[in-house]
Amino acid sequence: MKVMDVNIPIETSISNTRQMLETIAFQLAREWFAAQCNNTFAYYYLYYRPSDTGVLGKLVVDTEAPDGFQMADTERLSPGWTVEKAKSVIYQAIYTLPILPR
């Protein structure tokens, strides 16, 4: 799956930040849905890599955590969900992660 950079400038307004996070959540949900349809028995989770000085935070939905990533939410993305439901769960999880604006 594609790893998404959380690349939001610090001077971005709250409403624009929310819009950008919604876009990221929607892209991740769409990728998850396509992968889940191809393998209905796979267990997909949201993973993240925290940001640090000079290092962007990253998000990915996959069956296993890539190197340097941690589980963002213990709830798996259910094969019974729609893209909209998955987007909502991903979007809510993003707010709790230690990913800082650049």
Q: How many domains does the chain have?
A: 1
From 53, 61, 68, select the one nearest 100 (Cα to Cα). 53
Q: What is the mean pLDDT of each run of 10 residues along the chain (102 residues)?
A: 79 89 95 95 94 83 94 93 96 80 56
Does residue 100 form part of some domain?
Answer: no
Does residue 71 form part of some domain?
Answer: yes
pLDDT for position 87: 97
Cβ neighbours for 57, distance < 8 A, ≥ 6 positions apart: 5, 6, 48, 49, 50, 51, 97, 98, 99, 100
Does residue 67 form part of some domain?
Answer: yes
Does residue 99 form part of some domain?
Answer: no
Does residue 38 form part of some domain?
Answer: yes
Does residue 101 form part of some domain?
Answer: no
Does residue 26 form part of some domain?
Answer: yes
pLDDT for position 101: 58
pLDDT for position 78: 95
Distance between first and last Cα of the chain: 24
User: Which range marks the domain in which residue 87 is found?
Assistant: 4-94
